[in-house]
Structure 1
Amino acid sequence: MSTPFYVSPQQAMADRAEYARKGIARGRSVVVLQYNDGVIFVAENPSRALHKVSEIYDRIAFAAVGKYNEFETLRIGGVRYADLRGYTYDREDVTARGLANVYAQTLGTIFSSAGEKPYEVELIVAEVGAGPEDDQIYRLPHDGSIVDEHGSVAVGGNADQISSYLGQRHRDGMTLAEALKLAVESLTRDANGSERTLTAEQLEVAVLDRTRPQQRKFKRLLGSQLTRLMEEGAETSASSADEGGDAGAS
């Protein structure tokens, strides 16, 4: 009689975590930043049909990296949860924190189950508040843990390097154009330190804009509007550099 193959629970969980991390690392990154009027989502995604960033509810949006079919299933579940809770109770009862808890339970259950593989996804759930101090951003790794983020966050293949770049340069009170420029700059950094060029056609960009008069604050930035914002950010940066040079010369 053969001896059953034994793997310690610690090793099994470590192997599952490594499997999920490798799958997530193959995906292009997503960056989320706070700016003065809300929260901006920027993803490297040339597809116009398969979205990495989506609206969940009035003031809540969702971003994800990893396997599309897996995070799309989670997105649909989140929309159903929000719609049911808003209809049963009140629209104000639908919060990013509540949605993050639901996602954490789902991801944690799948990750710890021996009967199925872990989801190869990493999620961001964000809610725009009445002011910048009320904004909420939560990052959910593959194992279902919840990380409360502030200012900026990145997920995906090159997340550590991008997060470090954002942490050094992000500041409170940035305009939309400035935040977009910083997000695009961070996404162009390769792991080996070289820089790439990303055009508007290669990006998926959306905002939760607290200044919008309607109840739904989510808006996609497309076409000429996105191109104009990218040019505005570049012009602002060039003007700041010129002013810095003049000040140094004096």
Structure 2
Amino acid sequence: MSMPFYVSPEQLMKDRADYARKGIARGRSVVAVQYADGILFVSENPSQALHKVSEIYDRIAFAAVGRYNEFENLRIAGVRLADMRGYSYDRRDVTGRGLANAYAQTLGTIFSSGGEKPYEVELFVAEIGDSPAADQIYRLTYDGQVADEHGYAVMGGAAEAVASYLESRFTEGMALEEALRMAVAALGHSEGEDRVISVRDLEVAVLDRTRTQPRKFNRLVPARLEPLLGGRGTPAASPQSTVAGHRPDGDDQPAPTTAEPPVAPPPTDPPSDPGDPLT
């Protein structure tokens, strides 16, 4: 009779934690930032249908990173729990802390159970208050741990690099435009060359306390993001395209258009390059 294979509880928990962390690290980062009028959520998400940031209840938002099917199940469970509690008691009884505790119990039970794999997810549960001091951001990890975050928080992907960028630039009471630009720049920050994220690849939502409706969640579409970002993050034109006003040879000088004819340079300026096909 062969002896059963033995794994110590410490090694088992370590293996399950490593498995969950690796899955979460493959996702793109999500940033939550407190600004003067609420809480901002920013993520790089090219999909227009699968959201990382969603509404849970009147003043409560949910954001996640990791396996989509797993955190979508958690989001739906949170919506049902909030609706049931608000219907059975009062809408004021639905709180972000209560939802965070419910998520922590679920994630902790799944992580400790040996019958199924741990969830490869991290969550934000945020609730907006009547003043910035009353805002709450809870970060939940794959093993059910809960952390109360202040100012800003990052999860998933290159979280350490993004958090380091935010730490050096975050100030309390920032305007929405300033907070948004900082968050987008942080998502594009890396140890190597920083990159500019296209507006079409951003998923942005806010909990806005200035809204008169009871529901404070608002999703910002690209048409709203472009003026807020001031042109930062718009897709770059292709070097082979002349429609965007650039020469086909890659020169950054503007090409003439039919609507606005080119202005001849003054006689004192040097002549243009005779090899340029557009001059």
1:204 and 2:212 aligned: no
RCO greater where, 1 or 2, for CA within 8 Å and sep 6 or more? 1
Could you say which residue in structure 1 is the equivalent of 2:180? 180
**1:238-249 map, 5 Å:** none
Number of residue pairs matched by the alignment: 233
Could you say which residue in structure 1 is the equivalent of 2:217? 218
**1:63-82 map, 5 Å:** 63-82=63-82
**1:165-176 map, 5 Å:** 165-176=165-176
Could you say which residue in structure 1 is the equivalent of 2:238? none
Could you say which residue in structure 1 is the equivalent of 2:114? 114
Deviation at 1:223, TM superposition (A): 2.3
Query: Partners of 2:193 and 2:62 in 1: how far apart?
Result: 29
Could you say which residue in structure 1 is the equivalent of 2:194? 195
Deviation at 1:168, TM superposition (A): 1.6
Paired residue secondary structure (1:169): coil
Deviation at 1:233, TM superposition (A): 8.2
Query: Partners of 1:85 and 1:193 in 2: how far apart?
Result: 48
Could you say which residue in structure 2 is the equivalent of 1:146? 146
Residues 105-126 of structure 1: CA distance to partner in whole angstroms, max 9, x if unpaired? 0000000000000000000000
Residues 33-85 of structure 1: CA distance to partner in whole angstroms, max 9, x if unpaired? 00000000001001010000000000000000000000000000000000000
Could you say which residue in structure 1 is the equivalent of 2:263? none
Runs of 4+ aligned residues of structure 1 deviating over 2 Å after TM superposition are none
Structure 2: tracts of 5 or more residues without a match: 234-279
Could you say which residue in structure 2 is the equivalent of 1:11? 11
Judged with a 3 Å threshold, the aligned counterparts in structure 2 of structure 1 residues 233 and 33 are, in CA distance, closer, same or farther, namely farther
Query: Partners of 2:198 and 2:36 in 1: how far apart?
Result: 24
Bigger drift between 224-233 and 177-186 goes to 224-233
More helix by share: 1
Letter in 2 for 1:199: S
Could you say which residue in structure 2 is the equivalent of 1:2? 2
1:161 and 2:161 aligned: yes
Deviation at 1:3, TM superposition (A): 1.4
Query: Partners of 2:181 and 2:220 in 1: how far apart?
Result: 14
Residues 143-198 of structure 1: CA distance to partner in whole angstroms, max 9, x if unpaired? 000000000000001111111211221111100000000100110013x3321110
Query: Partners of 1:204 and 1:19 in 2: how far apart?
Result: 27
Query: Partners of 1:32 and 1:193 in 2: how far apart?
Result: 23
Could you say which residue in structure 2 is the equivalent of 1:242? none
Q: Give TM-score scaled by structure 2 length.
A: 0.82
| C-alpha RMSD of the superposition | 1.2
Residues 201-250 of structure 1: CA distance to partner in whole angstroms, max 9, x if unpaired? 0100000000000000000000211111111889xxxxxxxxxxxxxxxx
**1:39-58 map, 5 Å:** 39-58=39-58
Letter in 1 for 2:213: Q
Letter in 1 for 2:154: A
Judged with a 3 Å threshold, the aligned counterparts in structure 2 of structure 1 residues 26 and 93 are, in CA distance, closer, same or farther, namely same
8 A contact 2:226–2:232 mirrored in 1: no
1:230 and 2:229 aligned: yes
Query: Partners of 1:120 and 1:177 in 2: how far apart?
Result: 32
8 A contact 1:28–1:65 mirrored in 2: yes
8 A contact 1:208–1:219 mirrored in 2: yes
Larger radius of gyration: 2
Structure 1: tracts of 5 or more residues without a match: 235-250
Q: Give TM-score scaled by structure 1 length.
A: 0.91
Among all aligned residue pairs of Structure 1 and Structure 2, give the percentage whose two residues are the same amino acid: 66
8 A contact 1:180–1:233 mirrored in 2: no
8 A contact 1:177–1:233 mirrored in 2: no
